[in-house]
Amino acid sequence: MNVHDSEKVVGTLVSEGYRQVETVEEAGLVLYNTCSIRDRPNKKSSNRLNDYKKYQKQGKKFGVLGCVAQQEGEKIFDRAPFVSLVCGSASYRNLPQMLIQIEAGKSRVTGLDDRETDECFETEFTSRTNPYRGYITIIEGCDKFCAYCVVPYTRGKERSRSAASVLTEARQMADLGYTEIQLLGQNVNSYKDPSSTKTFAELLAAVGEVGGIRRVRFTTSHPRDFGRDIVDAIDAVPTLCDHVHLPVQSGSTRTLDAMQRLYTRDQYLERVMWIRAAKREISLTSDMIVGFPGETEPDFEETLSLLGQVGFDAVFGFKYSPRPNTPSLALDDAIPDEEKARRLNVLLERQRDIQRSSYQRHIGKIVEVMVEREERGTCAMERAHKPEHNSEFYRSWRSRTSRGRLHRVMVTGSFPNSLWVQWWNSGEKKMEVEMKIRWTHDGPSHEYAHRHSKGRWQRTLSCRYGWAFTRRIASRSRLRK
């Protein structure tokens, strides 16, 4: 979500006359998009702000965007007096007007009042970082209020875009040459069309039927709202990828109740049964939290037993991290960090054992992959179908292909976290090049910068995406009218 939020912020600023520059050193205004879902990225955000303090003497201005901004609000000004802008994600559509205030000399500008808004951040101008795969946010916010989660407090209430606007954006992407779309939402399957014309499953199928789109994904699903109709849609529409990411968080009904997850272990297993009964083999991945307050050893053993019962293709495990304003802060019986670390290691090792065995079932299968990027003489690729979840292939530089192309490969070997595959051409004839597939999980923060020098404002992103923008004075004058 943060990645796509950043893409939309970038696109919005470009539409107002900004263009890219290269480095933070060139910038005059730095905007830092933050995440507070766990304690670690939150601390990284604080450390990065401290790193930027050294640029204050150069006359640069600073702003904080995203969940940390909404969570801490004007306290950021007290902790980092050099910051001029604090803006939560629900206020991104107002960023151009906020920047005008900073340009006019206002030292502290906030956008923190829209958590109850019914509006989504929609823009025709999205600066997508991948020329073949693109994101579409269909629902923002969350109404679930899990005991450990800050999202309802930082992202606001659930609000959905109309199905018509989503399909219009999907068609525009197809016209631009995009072949893969990923539908996004904090709880993507909680989607409710404001015009009451389509359910989430119907919208998912409709996006999959857009001409030119080869693959459609969606994330993240909440088990409470996961219906059989989603599985039926995957079965019926070939372009929908054979993958469901369905976070369970715990295998213990008692712990799930304490987490306020709104389902039981048996109800989760019922949804797994729907997925396993599909006509297509659907890959299933999940998230799990260990060390939630009050989680006993028997509760943890139930989580381990769920791994074996379900047979996930991948699990992303985390230690419980106390977050501000969440109900779990009031719970007794906190688990020591050493015990949380032990449980996480046990969980991940048990899952690796399962993957060592289960990945062997793919050997000999022919699957379709997309070339993603070149890296140090290799080319990263993603599977189009089984086992699906954000997995990457690496091929030798000796084999020539092009980014964005779909190719068929045969799985030739398996390891705990990866598969080896081999080119397979249309004539069913093997080629000598081998590739490796591994599971990945995205979640970066992003930062931006602007510079006011010689009549220009410039903006840059110093981390891996390299976004940067310049806007001339004429554009600023036009915005003030």
Using the 8-state DSSP alphabet, how is residue 336 labeled?
Answer: P
The least confident of 40-44, 139-143, 216-220, 263-267 is: 40-44
pTM for this one? 0.82
More confident residue, 58 or 323: 323
More confident residue, 209 or 389: 209
* Structure confidence at residue 122 (pLDDT): 76
More confident residue, 141 or 381: 141
Rounded CA gap, 396 and 366, in Å?
19
**Closest residue by Cα to residue 284 from 332, 234, 346:** 234
Residue-averaged pLDDT of the chain: 80
pLDDT tens per residue across span 173-207: 999 999 999 999 999 999 999 988 899 999 999 99
More confident residue, 71 or 385: 71
- Kindly state the average pLDDT of the residues 50-68: 82
* Structure confidence at residue 422 (pLDDT): 79
Q: Which helix (H) or strand (E) holds 20?
A: none
- Kindly state the average pLDDT of the residues 234-240: 97
* Structure confidence at residue 44 (pLDDT): 72
Structure-token match 């999959």, residue found: 208
More confident residue, 68 or 389: 68
* Structure confidence at residue 42 (pLDDT): 65
Rounded-to-10 torsion of CA 235, 221, 43, 291: -110
DSSP states along 100-111: HHHHTT-S-EEE
Kindly report the backbone phi and psi dihedral angles of residue 35, in degrees, each rounded to the nearest multiple of 5, phi listed first.
Answer: -130, 140
More confident residue, 272 or 368: 272
* Structure confidence at residue 453 (pLDDT): 32
Beta carbons within 10 angstroms of residue 109's beta carbon: 21
Q: How many residues does the chain have?
A: 481
User: How far is residue 217 CA from its own chain's centroid?
Assistant: 12
pLDDT tens per residue across span 408-454: 888 888 888 887 877 776 554 444 344 445 544 432 222 333 333 33
- Kindly state the average pLDDT of the residues 384-404: 48
- Kindly state the average pLDDT of the residues 215-220: 94
pLDDT tens per residue across span 142-160: 999 999 999 998 888 999 9
pLDDT bracket for residue 471 (50, 70, 90)? very low
Rounded CA gap, 44 and 265, in Å?
34
| Residue 220, token pair as written in the block | 């993240």
* CA distances, 170 to each of 196, 306, 370, 440 (Å): 19, 37, 19, 25
- Kindly state the average pLDDT of the residues 27-48: 74
* Structure confidence at residue 105 (pLDDT): 86
Partners of 288 in the beta sheet?
249, 317
Task: Please check whether residue 299 is in contact with residue 250, taking contact to mean a CB–CB distance below 8 angstroms.
Answer: yes
| Residue 100, token pair as written in the block | 């005008």
Letter for the amino acid at 424? W
Q: Which range, 73-82, 244-253, 329-338, is most confident?
A: 244-253
Beta strands 378-383 and 468-472: pairing type?
A: unpaired
Rounded CA gap, 206 and 202, in Å?
6
pLDDT tens per residue across span 265-311: 999 999 999 999 999 999 999 999 999 999 999 999 999 999 999 99
Task: Please check whether residue 467 is in contact with residue 448, taking contact to mean a CB–CB distance below 8 angstroms.
Answer: yes
* Structure confidence at residue 398 (pLDDT): 40
More confident residue, 429 or 218: 218
pLDDT tens per residue across span 88-105: 888 888 888 998 898 888
pLDDT tens per residue across span 17-28: 766 566 777 777
* Structure confidence at residue 451 (pLDDT): 31
Q: Is the pLDDT reported for residue 472 higher than 50?
A: no
Beta carbons within 10 angstroms of residue 402's beta carbon: 8
Q: Is the pLDDT reported for residue 115 higher than 50?
A: yes
